[in-house]
Structure 1
Amino acid sequence: MSTTKNVAFIGLGVMGGPMTGHLARAGHRVTAYNRSADRVARWREKWQDEGLDVSFAVTPAAAAKDAEIVFTCVGNDEDLRAVTLGEDGVMAEIAAEALLVDHTTVSANMARELAAAGSERGVEVVDAPVSGGQAGAENGRLAIMCGGTASAVSRARPIMECYGTRIVHVGGAGAGQTAKMANQFCIAGVLGGLSEAIRLAQAAGLDMDKTLEAISGGAAQSWQMENRWQTMVADEFDFGFAIDWMRKDLGYALDEARRLRLSAPVSALVDQFYAEIQAAGGGRHDTSALISRLPKGGN
């Protein structure tokens, strides 16, 4: 990076932890906060031996106090509201003319609420949910969908390039979140079809590697096929983006579809299937575990 910034990062989870590391590795002065001390300890164990310039604050407000840009990546609407608008939240101390970039996947309403709160303080806000999963965060290859003003996204872009390879300004406040909802609808539909395709090939006794080779070079190809086919065939799901989080995301997306008076029957059905897997104790499994509810069949 040509310009070093004072930045804060709120949330050191499976996505925020690596993103924080990339910011520090790029030379930025980072103050981090996480509500769980265990997360902080795990982050230190993984990253601090690199001698990165990271300090840790006791509240989100303290982390944000001297930051030019504050990043957040937490769990849901309630978590984001707490760390930004709560008594010890970011907005209590963030400087006027600073920038707040939220990487959490939340509702479009929450994004607009946060943007309005920022406007009252003279703070530009970008809703910037990400796609690419834990691997994308760790490898610094996330896709980032941005909502907000052009000036805010322009300010954030060179810093987000520390961990994002595709950064697209979609529209105004809430537009980034709505784009992420569209992303999750696509994933739900693709995994539904992929699950049925694998079961068909298995029941017919096909060579699964050859089948993947045959169909992945045509119109059926997808990221899910390339990265999840083999683990789905092997019934391996103890990794990746958890069903619990996917259901949270789909809930926001289905609510937004209803607000817009739209029907989303495929995504709603897949959401019900995920609810079944959750009820059976599979909520922490990767979203590709959708296949687990389908019998293998065969003669």
Structure 2
Amino acid sequence: MRKGLFRRTIRRARTARRTGAPTISDAAGKRYRVVPVDDPETAKYADPPRKWPRVGAMAAVWAVVLALGAWTAPGIAASGSEDNEDARDQEATDSVGAALRFLKNGSEEDAERADAALCDGASPQVSSSDLDDLRQSYDEEFGGIERVNLDAGEPVSSVDGIEIAVRVWYVYQSRQESEDFLVTVQEDDGVFCVSETVLQSVEEEPSESGTTGIEEEVDTQAVATDFLRAIVVDREPQTAASFQCQTFTGITPQELNDAITDWAEAGETVIGYLDGFDSVDSDDSSVDAFAADIKLDGDMDIETFSFQLTVQGDCVSSLEGGDDLI
């Protein structure tokens, strides 16, 4: 073997060449450069670091603001709107309104609102507690009270103030009774308040001689009302007949009662109401004339019919009308 045929060969490992960032290719052959997250160039445009304590503080502040807004907003809205005021608390704008405010609230178990209608220092003969006692007495008599209706007359000036006659109706189903009041109202610079209330239906105490000493004046409207109520509401034509004058003309109580019975369907329950009662002019000065509406409430229908009555002295002298009923 010839010397020198073999040479010692020293192999050196090749140093890998530096290359750029690695790339990847998609299915279409496009190449994308992969940038490390700690690349200085990328970090230059990265989002700033979060300051979590500050974020928490801001969130807490907004939570407090929203909670305060939810708590105070309804109160602010309510205090700035007059629509939220209860109509029963509004001041009376005239004498009739003041009288009705006292009687209505007192008769509907609201003594506080009734007393708010009184003048300062006023102590009327009929107080709010007296009105409540009247209601309770009718409640026990009727078995309940469904509603209280009021009918006010025209204001009349007097030396004591402004006087208004008011009739209060206590109603339960087909039954209704009334009480008459005389209310005195004071007015001062557009402000109205009640200074006195008297129950007119209370009979005067007789004197030792057995009489009141005053000639009693017949309430002709009360006579007409009792007459018609006995027929329509109580359905007692015999009782109504006791209110008739001997010279009575027109529709008799029995005829009206029979007409109401015929108006109803067979087996139907009918409830009658007095739906309105007004004084009207009469050509005959010896009688007082009235126009009255009655309402018939059946199972299938409700109708109103109009009548005309005259009262002479303390009795009913005529009954006319009732078109489409009689």
> TM-score if structure 2 supplies the norm length?
0.23
Which protein shows a greater Rg? Answer: 2
> TM-score if structure 1 supplies the norm length?
0.25
Q: Which has the higher helix share?
A: 1
Q: Which has the higher strand share?
A: 2
